Amino acid sequence: METQDNDKQEFNITVYTENQIGLLNRIAIIFTRRKINIDSLNTSPSEIESIHRFNIVITESEEVVRKLTRQIEKQVEVLKVYYHTNADVIWQELALYKVSTDVIAEKVSVERLLRENGARVVVLRKDYTVFETTGHREETDNLISILQPYGLIEFVRSARVAIIKDSEGFNSKLREFERLEPGEDVIENEYLNKGQKVFTM
Amino acid sequence: MEAQTITQEVSEKAAAPAKSPTTEVSGSEALLEALIVEGVETIFGYPGGAIMPIYDALYDYSEKLNHILVRHEQGGIHAGQGYARTSGKVGVVFATSGPGATNLVTGLADAQIDSTPLVCITGQVFAHLLGTDAFQETDVINITTPVTKWNYQVTDATEIPEVIAKAFYIAKSGRPGPVLIDITKNAQIQKFDYAGYTKCDHIRSYRPKPIVRPQYIQEAAELINSAKKPFIIWGQGVILGSAEQEFKAFVEKSGIPSAWTVLGAGAIPTNHPLNVGMLGMHGNYGPNVLTNECDVLIAIGMRFDDRVTGRLDKYAKQAKVIHLDIDPAEIDKNVKSTVPVWGDCKETLPMLTALVDKKEHTEWHDKFKDYTRQEVEQVIHRELNPTTDEMTMGEVIKQLNEITKGEAIIVTDVGQHQMVACRYAQFNNTRSNVTSGGLGTMGFALPAAIGAKFGAQNRTVVAIIGDGGFQMTCQELGTIMQSGIDVKIIILNNRFLGMVRQWQELFNSRRYSFVDIESPDFVALAAAYRIPGKVIDDRKDLPSALHEMLNNKGSFLLEVMVTKENNVFPMVPQGCSVSEIRLK
């Protein structure tokens, strides 16, 4: 069966879109109708003005991810969809931690804590301190467990942002989209590309 | 994400504006001008508070645009679907906000899953009232997002020409589908400088069809030419792509036995020598069994619905699969293809035909014939020539074939009568089988038949409906009465919700849970709408009653009492492989 748990891994789905109200919902329901949890979702501008970029992280088998990307790419306002494993992207998440300044100052070697966790102080007040760290999930998780014993007041982590390692940017693709004729690359697939190990569809 | 008006993506070579440039028009007038340039002749709709400005403008356009007042918005959208299916054009539907719009949802879902091109216009409350729970306000865009190919809310009249141009382009291009445009009341009223209407033929982010790679065609042709037992299965894609001639040429040159999905029926005539029958749960014996024996399976414009494949992990595992489809999302969705031929089959089929060898496949055809013989002996003969007192659904269809000679458009609802009609009706022409395939919408047939007739006014339209489904949308008899449209209605009354009863008999130990349905006097009901009718329960009256119905000027309702507990066979029980098809 296609959805055996042991086939599942994290995939980073990158979606280039027009900026259109309602598109977030249109994309989200492609996951929710299959009862797939979205682990992380970030929308941002892309390297091209007026083109939006979604970064979506889900844990699924590649076969399911491929079907999802095709269904996303089918949406009228979606220009292009790519999916990648964690190994194929550079990715970061940002986390903020609020702790009591008294406790921290008294009980923790703040300097060591900052150095060892690549963290920095964003706000330092008499009553509380806010640390920030950026990194992979394990790194931001690690700082939680370190601060938890000292009464972590508040914690928040951002969605994941990811840059595709072997991407050459979307500029040339966009020019192709602006032409009238149908595109070549929507028909790439694992059958024709079996020799080339190409990941796009 | 912030709001942004959609960018102008229209071509300059498209149609000239009907109104002279820089006239001041209202949003409503701009909408109606757009419909005229798009070649719309018929609109199915129902007015209400939030769409009143459009209806007010329509008052002055009644010579150019024929508005059919339906009795319920669901009837309106099914009529739009029927219209689109027989005419090949985009069906246009008007509804008001709130309940008017929510009543469209079933039809949108039906059109989405059956790839029917529609443009639905809904009124919406004033823009400044959005989100305030205003009277008849509902979040139509979000409600309809999963069941539309595209939808968009207009809050400013200046957007209307461009948005309507996009709506028509999206609805009919590539894999067709329903589009909904929600227009706030202020935008309907607002006046603006109208610069004319330009049709849309390109949207940057939208690829209606992938480019065809000759490489695929080559690989596919090689597979086909080396095949000993190739088998073609085709779907509605052939009809939607207007590729019937290209398909026929391919089938005839390759000599490959070809079977159809319910929505593909009629793309080549029922009695074509290479047409071996219907696929799926109640399809023919040979096409189902031999799917699991063929060596190359060529799927054309079909999407391997579960009603066609049965148990997927035992479906055509021995075969190499060639899948021709315009929608990349369908390739490898349910059945993994060996060679995916992505593209418009109107382009890909001729390329393939050029490369395939001319063959007969006589021995392989004989296998199909052998299965047909078994099916005739064990199922078909008894269904079409019953010796029981009571009539069967099949013999009604057979009699109808004999009178219409396969020239009629057959519109069916959902259930046993639908499967019997699809199995036994003769289709000489394409765009002749109108039914709710993917969604299985009971209540579809009566309104769809109205639309089907408007879409093909010189053809005979016969709606075949069960006693259950008829009662779901029988208010549309009012639409027939008022519009004077000529629709022949056959109710096959078995006094049961027959398909569910069949399943309860076969799989739930005859525990007939809420399938025993009472009906009103259908003939009297029709008479109340001034539609003549007749009920028969004796076989000897069948031919004359059918003649009377077909010869009647205008609509006619014929109720045929059929045997109560008949089952549709063959049947691939749910969860079983197509080779486990049952003949009884």
Would residue A17 count as lying in a domain?
Answer: yes
Note whether B344 contacts A: Cβ–Cβ < 8 A: no
Note whether A66 contacts B: Cβ–Cβ < 8 A: yes
Report helix angle B345-355 to B244-254, nearest 10: 20
Task: Provide the pLDDT confidence category of residue A181 given band limits of 50, 70 and 90.
Answer: low
A76 and A167 both lie in a single domain: yes
**CATH (domain of A14):** 3.30.70.260
A136 and A149 both lie in a single domain: yes
Chain A residues whose beta carbon lies within 8 Å of the beta carbon of residue B340: 189, 191
Question: What pTM was computed for the model?
Answer: 0.93
**B196, amino acid identity:** G
Count how many domains chain A has: 2
Biggest CA pair distance of chain A: 68
Q: In which residue ranges of chain B is pLDDT below 70?
A: 1-21
Would residue A107 count as lying in a domain?
Answer: yes
| pLDDT at residue B2, rounded to an integer | 39
CA atoms within 13 A on the CB side of B38: 31
A12 and A84 both lie in a single domain: yes
Question: What average pLDDT does the segment A36-49 reach?
Answer: 93
Chain A residues whose beta carbon lies within 8 Å of the beta carbon of residue B151: 22
A22 and A81 both lie in a single domain: yes
Task: Provide the pLDDT confidence category of residue A5 given band limits of 50, 70 and 90.
Answer: low
Would residue A193 count as lying in a domain?
Answer: no
Would residue A194 count as lying in a domain?
Answer: no
Residue B337: burial class (beta carbons within 10 Å; 0-12, 13-18, 19+):
buried
Biggest CA pair distance of chain B: 73
Nearest CB partner across the interface for A186, out of B141, B215, B328? B328
Domain architecture of chain B: domains with CATH: 23-194 (3.40.50.970), 214-368 (3.40.50.1220), 389-561 (3.40.50.970)
Phi, psi (degrees; rounded to nearest 5) at B119: -120, 115
| pLDDT at residue B21, rounded to an integer | 57
A11 and A81 both lie in a single domain: yes
Is a pLDDT exceeding 90 seen at residue A176? no
Can you give the three-state secondary structure of chain A, one letter per residue? CCCCHHHCEEEEEEEEEECCCCHHHHHHHHHHCCCCCCCEEEEEECCCCCEEEEEEEEEECHHHHHHHHHHHHCCCCEEEEEEEEHHHEEEEEEEEEEEEHHHHHHHCCHHHHHHHHCCEEEEECCCEEEEEEEECHHHHHHHHHHHHHHCEEEEEECCCEEEECCCCCCHHHHHHHHCCCCCCHHHCCCCCCCCCCCCCC
Would residue A153 count as lying in a domain?
Answer: yes
Nearest CB partner across the interface for A17, out of B6, B205, B332? B205
Would residue A196 count as lying in a domain?
Answer: no
Would residue A52 count as lying in a domain?
Answer: yes
A109 and A70 both lie in a single domain: no
Q: Sign (positive/negative) of CA torsion B261, B265, B271, B272?
A: negative
A81 and A173 both lie in a single domain: yes
Tokens 């009464």 found at: A151
Task: Provide the pLDDT confidence category of residue A154 given band limits of 50, 70 and 90.
Answer: very high
Would residue A198 count as lying in a domain?
Answer: no
Nearest CB partner across the interface for B205, out of A76, A184, A191? A76
A83 and A101 both lie in a single domain: no
Could you give the 3-state DSSP secondary structure of residue B127? helix
A96 and A20 both lie in a single domain: no
Chain B residues whose beta carbon lies within 8 Å of the beta carbon of residue A189: 331-332, 340
Range of the domain at A55: 5-89+163-187
**CATH (domain of A134):** 3.30.70.1150
Is a pLDDT exceeding 80 seen at residue A53? yes
A110 and A122 both lie in a single domain: yes
Chain A residues whose beta carbon lies within 8 Å of the beta carbon of residue B119: none
Give me the active site residues of B, please: 73, 135-136, 185, 499
A117 and A20 both lie in a single domain: no
A21 and A84 both lie in a single domain: yes
Q: Which two tokens stand for residue B271?
A: 């009695």
Note whether A195 contacts B: Cβ–Cβ < 8 A: no
| pLDDT at residue A4, rounded to an integer | 53
| pLDDT at residue B13, rounded to an integer | 40
Q: Do A182 and B209 make contact, defined as CB atoms within 8 angstroms?
A: yes
